[in-house]
Amino acid sequence: MLSLLAAAPVAEAVAHGPVNPWVALAYLVSGVFFILALRGLSSPATSRTGNRFGMIGMLIAVVTTLVTHDIANIVEILIAIAVGGVIGLVIARRIAMTAMPELVAAFHSLVGLAAVLVGWAAYLNPSAFGLLVGGNIGAVSKVEMGLGIAIGAITFSGSVIAFAKLSGRMSGSPILLPARHIINLGTLTAIIVLIGLFALTGHTETLPLIIALTVLAFLIGFLLIIPIGGADMPVVVSMLNSYSGWAAAAMGFTLGNSAMIITGALVGSSGAILSYIMCRAMNRSFLSVIAGGFGAEDGGAAGGEPREQRPYKQGSAADAAFMLEQAEKVIIIPGYGMAVAQAQHALREMTDILEEKGVEVKFAIHPVAGRMPGHMNVLLAEASVDYDKVFELEDINSEFAQADVAFIIGANDVVNPAAKTDKSSPIYGMPVFDVDKAKQVFFIKRSMGGVGYAGVDNDVFYMDQTMMLLSDAKKMVEEIVKALD
């Protein structure tokens, strides 16, 4: 398989004819802009510039394709681009930052569907794509086409399920089918076999094969995502991002388009690296995430209720404000609850007031906080929180022992000490913040009736130095701000 893919550029050059050097240069320039875009997106401080580089790169690639190809109806193409651009602009302006994870998943599904449609278009009209070799589609082109369709279909159906889970249209709890591992392995094996048969069979006899390949790929995308719980969603989002890139790269080989190959490889590899980082942050393997999410075991407390009623201390906004004013160092740990309540702006206002009173305030961000990679960073950036106040787990965890207050707002699993002490816990081994070492802990959550996505109770609720602030996160922070004034 690898040797076939390695030979693909040569085969495609023959099939598509010689490549105009100016076209190759334009695609290379667009690829450079995509690389600069990824480089810019690696930091909140340069993310806007990175986005602009990506837009410029895509503009160059699209214009080059339109200018250098024989377009049947350029007016229809331009109308389609305009309609898509308007839809994208409206969605981007209207979407709430809290809904960004499901928006990303929805966009991934469109990339996957596009790969499937392009693959089928190339199959149904191979002469228009320059794929015919001796009256049939070449074996190499069939491998590329089959991979593109399969990965695209998996990306589409998997992203649809991820969107449904993230948006609340489907339960975020793992849905476990009997013998799911055997079913998934058998389906993936069948897809690989079908791609091989598709590549080796004459064109007139391949229609049933490509139909079966597409159907099974759609099915396995669905089966892979439904058993994954909400706590693993950051990994799922980055994984689907990687899949969409590889689908685009495979279609790039089919079309002989170097810009698609470069862009797809960049997206695919960066998504894979990000998935690895997310898994390492949870001290889990990628295969364990695919096999099923947190809370998937029958013995877990996935029902959403604490296992036992234990005494805890409840405080008010006035109590929290008084202690925050007396503190010298405060570390804030935001989580998905902050996103749901849209409390980031009130939190920034509280931070400004505390700093005016001489309190040092820092933000601690766990790699898997929220529902997509960097979710908390995006929300804090939206609220204009200074980048130099935001720290990742490994950079700030040692400072909790010197902190007067650990201020937890909407986080749960990422501060749960069971990850360090309870070997039976589904989150055991996951690196968490050492909030139990802080002198005082404020924990904002709606009620004591629920637990995190991992479905396990949190001992932090019941520590002597913990004060539970039971309320909507935004409302509680706003009340603390009033009390500070």
What is the torsion angle, in degrees rounded to the nearest 10, for the CA atoms of residue 263, residue 264, residue 270 and residue 276? 180
Catalytic residue chosen out of the listed positions 386, 388, 395, 413: 413
**Which residue in the block uniquely carries the two structure tokens 């931070």?**
351
Nearest CA-CA partner of 287 in 227, 241, 370: 227
Q: What are phi and psi of 483, to 5 degrees?
A: -70, -30
Pairing outcome for strands 132-133 and 360-365: unpaired
Determine contact, residues 222/183, Cβ cutoff 8 Å: no
Q: How far apart are the first and last CA of the chain?
A: 67
d(CA 1, CA 281): 33
DSSP tag of 370 = S
d(CA 477, CA 485): 12
Length of the chain as a residue count: 485
Q: Where are the beta strands (DSSP E) in 246-403?
A: 329-334, 360-365, 390-392
Q: Tell me, yes or no, if 404 is annotated catalytic.
A: no
Output helix, strand, coil percentages for the chain, rounded to the nearest 5: 65, 5, 25
Neighbours of 300 (CB within 10 A): 18
Pairing outcome for strands 136-137 and 132-133: antiparallel
Looking at residue 158, its amino acid is G
Enter the tokens of residue 427: 């989150």
The residues carrying an active-site annotation are 413
